Amino acid sequence: MNCIETKNLTHTFSGGETALKDINLQVPQGSLYGFLGPNGAGKTTTLRLLLGLIKKQKGEILIFNQPFSTHRIELLKQTGSLIESPSLYGHLTAAENLRVLQKVYQCPEQRINEVLEIVGLSHTKNKKTSNFSLGMKQRLSIAIALLHSPSLLILDEPTNGLDPNGILEIRDLLKKLNTEQNMTIIISSHLLAEIEKMVTHVGIINKGSIMFQGTLDELHLKQKQTAVIKFETNDPEQTARIISANGFTPVLLHGAVSIPVTEEKTVAGLNKQLVQNNIEVFQIHHVKNDLESIFMDLVKNDAQ
Ligand code: ATP
């Protein structure tokens, strides 16, 4: 079952700019879904629509299989979110900040200690938040989002501006929430490397359109499919001609000739032919694109 599903979600701002075009998001229940895209791609607009923070114009939003438009309050009660850093009261401690919101949300008082424990801030609960690091502030913000025990968490770039250690802390926290509490989490980011190590699913958005959506394994498969065998020789043109005569469509780039990954025996055969044609073969290597370049390719192809 999908925890979040959108159907042809489209949004145009008053200036006439279409920020989202036919977004069909599918966030499976229990997934940790990375919503990825460069700046201005439409991530925040999508997440705001999911939370009813901006009015939906076109398309459908289903959360827990129910239309958001008719079950808004009920669905928001099951959803925790962090869209913009909430204004924390700097002169109050973490526990005091949480107490203010616990009263607003009318949730049990014991939740304060529970969420402090979950985000790993129990030991600093008496420190004023103005003295918190950015990472601690983000964790406290997540604690606030968890106060009412939601089963879905929507986070907009929670790792933005954090140092590697802060990113690691948020990553561990979200993984824990996802696996130990079976919480479905959608987290946006503009850096694949930041979320790649924690997510189970990925959605890539660019210029308001979804470019890829699937499991992390499916994205890895795409990575495999774009891997190449690269030949570096003293005569790239002649190398390309010989390889081409063997039924391949080689790509000549920066003085190297690439073909899609093929069997080792075939590579050995090509190498033999090159040598027999007096070509000096310097290197033959298997080049795997990292996920970041797959992401860049998806985004770049769309820009052309
Ligand atoms: P970032 O990572 O920079 O936050 P994003 O992927 O979250 O980017 P959005 O903030 O959703 O992108 O913006 C998508 C597009 O909509 C952008 O071109 C942005 O300029 C435009 N946009 C966003 N909010 C408004 C608004 N209130 N009025 C007009 N245009 C807007």
- The distance from CA 275 to its chain's CA centroid, rounded to whole angstroms, is 46
Span 276-289, average pLDDT: 91
CA of 40 to the centre of ligand 1 (A): 5
pTM for the predicted model, two decimal places: 0.82
22: buried, middle or exposed (CB in 10 Å: 19+, 13-18, 0-12)?
A: middle
Confirm or reject: Cβ of 282 under 6 Å from ligand 1.
no
Are the beta carbons of 284 and 267 closer than 8 angstroms? yes
Confirm or reject: Cβ of 206 under 6 Å from ligand 1.
no
Nearest CA-CA partner of 36 in 211, 297, 173, 177: 211
The Cα 6–Cα 2 span in angstroms is 10
Give the pLDDT of residue 304.
46
Confirm or reject: Cβ of 39 under 6 Å from ligand 1.
yes
Sheet-wide strand order for 228-233: 251-253, 256-260, 228-233, 281-287
Q: What is the pLDDT of residues 110-139, one digit of tens each?
A: 999 999 999 989 888 778 999 998 889 989
For atom 11 of ligand 1, the residue with the nearest CA is: 42
Span 217-229, average pLDDT: 82
Residue 274 φ then ψ, to 5°: -60, -45
Q: What is the DSSP string of 84-118?
A: S-----TTSBHHHHHHHHHHHHT--THHHHHHHHH
Enumerate the H helices of 190-263 as residue ranges.
192-195, 216-225, 236-245
Q: What is the pLDDT of residues 72-97, one digit of tens each?
A: 999 999 999 999 776 789 999 999 99
* Pairing of β 32-36 and β 152-156: unpaired
Confirm or reject: Cβ of 38 under 6 Å from ligand 1.
no
Are the beta carbons of 236 and 282 closer than 8 angstroms? no
